[in-house]
Amino acid sequence: MKKSSSNQREKIRAALLTFFLSGASAILMWQTAGELSFGSASKASAAIELYGDHPQSQKSSDSSIFAEFNDWTNEHLNEEFSDGDEHLRKGERLAVRRREVLKQLIESNPSEALEYAVSPEVYNRVPRAVAQHLEKHISQKGDFLVSVSDEIRPEAEHSLNHGIRREAIFGETKYAAFVYGRKAAMTTKYDVPLRGIVLDETMAVAENPVRKIESSEHKTRNGGTEKIGKTGLAAEVGGEIVYFSNHEEFYKYTNDLAAWEMQIAPARRNSNKESSQSSPWTEGAKTVLVIRVDFPDRIGEPVDQSGAPLTVARAQNVINNSVNPFYVSNSYNKTSLQNPVVTPVVRMPQAQSFYNGFNLNTTMLNDARNAARAAGFETNNYDLDIIAFGFTPNLSFSGSAIIGGKGLFLNGFFDFKTIAHELGHNYGLLHANLWRTTDGTVIGAGANVEYGDAFDLMGGGASGLTHFSAGYKRRLDWLTEMNVQTVTTSGTYRIFAYDAVNAPTGIHALKIRRDNSKDYWIEFRQLFPNVPALANGALVRWDFAQQNLRQTQLLDMTPNTTSVGDAPLLIGNSFVDNVSGITITVLGKGNTTPESLDIRVNFNYSIARGAPFDFDGDNKSDIAVFRPANGVWYLNQSTQGFRAINWGLSTDKIVPSKFNLDRTTDLAVFRDGVWSVYNSMGSNPIVVQFGQAEDIPLPADYDGDGAAEMAVYRPSNGSWYFWNWISQRFTAAQFGIATDKPVPADYDGDGKTDIAVFRNGTWYIQRSQLGFVGIAFGEATDKPVVGDFDGDGKADVAVFSPLDGSWYLLRSQLGFTAIQFGLATDVSVPADYDCDGKTDVAVFRDG
């Protein structure tokens, strides 16, 4: 980077969070050993994200073949070749090589595959001999089927989401679908807009089905060419063009579509049909059709492993007397299975071996349903259907099911456990697993154990007492928002047993955000009086935040034994998560009806809040800069690498903060009283009008709910104004004068940011828990540098003196210290760069 003029330097100084240069960091930190050499040129080729599909900018694949083919394409389009025949042969050779690499990439990294895809224009302009080897873009409405198979003898350890298969179906054409982003959380959907690329029988599905159309793009419609107007807004959705009058309408449309994608429901509700059910797919009385099938090469009634047939009476008995009571009890009477209709044995059109592999789901489903129709059973009249065939040893699964939609298969396993488990998939659930550690701790290094949760029927549970976990019941809306306490502040909370009630009232589970990817769920059970650990302890699980399609993991609080029967956290014991600063203690029973358990949750707020400027959610402050000249943020994330995102104008005030409950810093700017937040949770931007142009924006978590409020300090009247955009709550306070420097922080360690000002060497602090205090510390020329420098959860009073480059810290636990670190022209950038819960001394030095 060239040396900046003083004006340019001031702009960068004003915009600075921390700074990244490709090849070297221009950040000096107290922990670094010696001076760092400063870089020269910023990464000019950085891709700019503007509602794109591809957040990764670091490629996991060997991109050489793509570069070679792109070079050939440019030569062809610009006619920069002399030997046409050799040029064509070269193009074919490259296209064939590229095809194989891209096909593998679609399966391993569909986001990257989309990034390498040729444009429709290139596809149409290259010779047919080359184009036949290329992928095609697709934007249509189709069916998105998600299914899972349950192994007869599962391996001890599997990665999460093992055995899940996705298909994209457009009419008679189907593709194996590979997804990323929020599509990985989507359950089965019918007639849903899908977008991506297809190659042979595979499809890379774009996260966002909406493709925004630029004003210069032409679209041929009705025999004519239509151009989008300069002020108009249009998007391609499901192969159709949708027009919007303004950006707000566009954002609402895309938000509504994304919200529906995240629901557990295979089809949109009929908007004209009234219903008292909040979740129609997971609630209500379900009609069930059992389709018994045989094959031309295997004739007769389906039989189980012992050779016993699945008769009509047997099928009705297991569903009516075992499976249905389980669902009635689990759901608190919110759902039930009606007396099933069982077909006579119907013949499949193909030999049994035909339906293995890729033909298992949609092909076998369609053939079985058509056979049932031919026998007089219209499958569309039933909410759920079960296809049962005789036990086949060479098939590795006992059952297979559509997730969040109708349709399941039984491979000779006609028992309560298998049927109820597979129906759990139909209702929208995945497996209940165990996190097994290898280091003797509860949450340390280890591996996922598929079906390892013995207390949940979606895991190793096999009886009607093994209810779905509280988190799963909440996902199905059997437990409601009123029954789950989301814990964001330290305190004692009471939870009632959730498995021994007819209708839940009160709090039956605690949910605690751990980090950007996981939540803790705490529950209490009473249906196992002969299991002392369950009767006198709490079960603690992880689930994966912000997703519907996700599995749970039981945490074993006694990890050094071989059984999970002692997994509960017993009365009088504590579990400590030092990484997230969370301590969970079981205090005792409440002696209530139903029985209850009192749980103490403590937060080390300096850790639990996470590090400032943590853009990837790993509790480490990331090196980042906003460049006013082009409105681009350059981020060097500690776990996700480099990103460049266009978000803002040169005149904006940058206000990054954690506006969501995901503990990840969001990019945000304040422009003439308007807040624009680039949402880290993946949905569309948050745009809020709050404040005036002359206000000083100071976003922070002032109310302790875990998310930053939009807040401003108005020097003209010394007032603070706060807007909680989540709860839509406004508050205000008068504290300060026009010349004060606002220095809000959590000075008393209660998890709430306190309002405070620095005035001519004196700190005036209005602590939310401990009240007002004034502290004389510093000189009028000093720069206040607030941070928790001793890691005790309380912000420390501190200043940086430009006169001598010294830091003066008055730490709340360790007392006074002075550190000479920096030059007069440095910019102080304190933050927690190493995830130890302590603010690090650091400076940015220009150049």
Distance of CA 425 to the CA centre of its chain: 20
84-108 helix and 64-77 helix, angle to the nearest 10 degrees: 140
Instruction: Report DSSP state, residue 89.
Output: H
Predicted confidence (pLDDT) at residue 551 exceeds the cutoff of 70: yes
Q: Tell me: pLDDT of 45 over 50.
A: no
The answer on pLDDT for 798 being more than 80 is yes
Bridge pairing between strands 164-170 and 173-178: antiparallel
Across 107-111, 285-289, 609-613, 740-744, least confident range: 609-613
Q: What is the pLDDT of residue 631?
A: 86
Annotate 738-749 with three-state secondary structure.
Answer: CCCEECCECCCC
The reported pLDDT for the residue numbered 452 is 94
Instruction: Tell me which amino acid residue 610 is.
Output: G
- State percent of the chain over pLDDT 70: 85
What is the C-alpha to C-alpha distance for residues 315 and 311, in angstroms, rounded to an integer?
Answer: 6
Q: Of 639 and 405, which is predicted with more confidence?
A: 405
**pLDDT, tens digit, 9 for 90 and up, residues 370-411:** 999 999 999 999 999 999 999 998 888 899 999 999 999 999
Through-space distance between the first and last CA atoms of the chain, rounded to whole angstroms: 7
Q: Name the residue type at position 706.
A: G
Q: What is the mean pLDDT of residues 513-528?
A: 90
Taking only the tens place, the pLDDT of each residue in 195-243 is 999 999 999 999 999 998 865 564 544 344 455 544 468 999 999 999 9
Sheet strands side by side (includes 783-784): 783-784, 797-801, 806-811, 815-820
Identify the pLDDT of residue 548: 52
pLDDT of residue 732: 94
Instruction: Decide: 727 and 701 in contact? Cβ < 8 Å.
Output: no
- CA-nearest of 511, 449, 431 to 706 is 511
* 793: confidence class by pLDDT, cuts 50, 70, 90: confident
pLDDT of res. 107: 95
Pairing of strands 284-286, 335-337: parallel
8 Å CB contact between 95 and 130: yes
Examine the pLDDT at 186 and tell me if it is beyond 70: yes
Coil vs helix vs strand at 37? coil
Q: Do 162 and 450 touch, CB atoms closer than 8 A?
A: yes
Is residue 819's pLDDT more than 50?
yes
pLDDT at position 272: 36
Q: Residue 52 pLDDT > 80, yes or no?
A: no
**Distance (Å, whole) CA 465 – CA 479:** 17
Quote the Cα angle for 663-668-672, to 5°: 145
Please check whether residue 552 is in contact with residue 521, taking contact to mean a CB–CB distance below 8 angstroms: yes
Range from 317-331, 511-525, 679-693, 792-806 that averages highest in pLDDT? 317-331
**CB distance 29 to 836 below 8 Å:** no
Give residue-wise pLDDT tens across range 347-365: 999 999 888 765 667 889 9
Q: For residue 503, is pLDDT > 70?
A: yes
**Burial grade of 5 (CB within 10 A; 0-12, 13-18, 19 or more):** exposed
Are 547 and 580 within 8 A, CB to CB?
A: no
356 contacts: CB under 8 Å, gap ≥ 6: 395
Radius of gyration of the chain (CA): 30
Q: Cβ neighbours of residue 533 under 8 Å, at least 6 residues apart?
A: 565, 566, 567, 568, 570
Tell me whether residue 363 is exposed, middle or buried, using C-beta atoms within 10 angstroms of its C-beta: 0 to 12, 13 to 18, 19 or more. middle
Share of the chain above pLDDT 90, in %: 63
CA 252-258-259 angle, 5° bins: 85
SS3 of 415-473: the string is CHHHHHHHHHHHHCCCCEEEEEECCCCCCCCEEEECCCCCCCCCCCCCCCCCCCCHHHH
The predicted structure's pLDDT at residue 131: 96
CA distance 635 to 46: 11
Mean pLDDT across the stretch 684-703?
Answer: 90
Q: Smallest Cα–Cα separation from 231: which of 246, 250, 251, 221?
A: 246
pLDDT-derived band at 514, boundaries 50, 70, 90 = confident
Residue 727 predicted with pLDDT over 50? yes
Return the pLDDT at 792.
Answer: 83
pTM here is 0.74
Tokens 């400032």 -> residue: 612
